[in-house]
Amino acid sequence: MFLKALKDKFKYKSGLKYLKEQFENPPEAVVRKNGITSIAIIVDLDKFDKAELFYEFVEDFKLRPNAVKIIGYKSFYDKNSPYATPVFSDKDLGWHGAIENSYALEFLSREYDMLVNYYNQENLMLQLMSIKTRARINVGFAEIDERHNDLILETSLTDFNTFKRELKKYLKVLGEIDA
């Protein structure tokens, strides 16, 4: 038990070091044409448990039905319990910032036009997922380190409709979606 706790502490420190290195040497930008055709969403299910609302983006942005990919974070989850959204947690942290979760690895294997970081508290696993997701535009909340997001919206995490309305407004201004 003691050794596992010590090992987890070193993994956490290793993850923080990896995150710092990624901020200092950011990966090359994703090159995709303008327009939103695919959206990745990382949501903190401990704070916002209505992840299915993000499927409204399909209709709002006139996307294909499978264009929205969602993954959720829970500080603790039971692998035997069914979740509507693929889930990862703190116990999926590996050495050097690696994420050891099949759902997360499948999520990270794709490129997206937009990443929505739907969380408002700093958390190593959420930040690692965010930095590892390859997307042309990153959207998130003001409470998070600004290096994670290109577009920062100052809304409440619990007010999804305001978030969606503001996101749509700014994407129109940026020429990413049609008016």
For the stretch 69-95, pLDDT in tens is 999 999 887 766 667 788 999 899 999
Look up the CATH number of domain 2-173.
3.40.50
- Spans in the chain with pLDDT lower than 70: 1, 26-27, 29-32, 79-82, 179
pTM above 0.85, yes or no: yes
CA distance 153 to 33: 23
**Backbone torsion region of residue 62, taken as left when φ is above 0, otherwise alpha when ψ lies between -120 and 50, otherwise beta:** left
